[in-house]
Structure 1
Amino acid sequence: MSTPQSALIDWNLSRVTRLAISAVAVFLALRLTDDFLPGLGMAIVLAIVLDIPWWLHTHYVAQFKEK
């Protein structure tokens, strides 16, 4: 199986969550800004802020499984 096929077929919870976070960040950036560069900056900041809870959850679960 080629790399693009495996990237499209191999979906897990982490990938779906990151895709949803990115979509929400872009949607909010488009709604809150008018220009391209501020919108791009806003999308990046929102993606980082919205991804922090998921990142904390996955690291907490990984630490819990190690113990």
Structure 2
Amino acid sequence: MSALRSAVLDWDADRIATFLVSIGAGQLAVRVADGLLAQLGAVVLFAVVLMLPWEGAKRLAERLRAE
């Protein structure tokens, strides 16, 4: 049965968070920037800024679990 499952059904919390952040970054970039290159730069900036708390929480949880 596992060979028949779609890749969409195998999503974990990291992939879901990355997907949601990319959607949010894209929406923010469209609202903030005018041109295509400015929007691409804004998407990268927003994605980095929005992923930092998730990565920090994940690393903190791994450290606390290891202790």
TM-score range, shorter chain: 0.7 to 0.9
In the alignment, residue 23 of structure 1 is paired with which amino acid?
Answer: I
Please give the alpha-carbon distance, in whole angstroms, between the structure 2 residues aligned to 1:62 and 1:15: 17
Identity percentage of aligned residues = 27
In structure 2, the partner of 1:58 is 58
Please give the alpha-carbon distance, in whole angstroms, between the structure 2 residues aligned to 1:57 and 1:47: 16
In structure 2, the partner of 1:49 is 49
- Counting only pairs closer than 5 Å after superposition, residues 1-67 of structure 1 correspond to structure 2 as 1=3, 5-6=6-7, 8-67=8-67
In the alignment, residue 65 of structure 1 is paired with which amino acid?
Answer: R
Structure 2 SS opposite 1:34:
coil
Task: State the Cα deviation string for residues 40-59 of structure 1 (Å, max 9, x = none).
Answer: 00000100000000000000
Higher-helix-fraction structure? 1
Number of residue equivalences: 64
Q: TM-score, normalised by structure 1?
A: 0.88
Runs of 5+ in structure 1 lacking a partner? none
Q: TM-score, normalised by structure 2?
A: 0.88
Q: After TM superposition, which residue ranges in structure 1, 4 or more long, deviate above 6 angstroms?
A: none
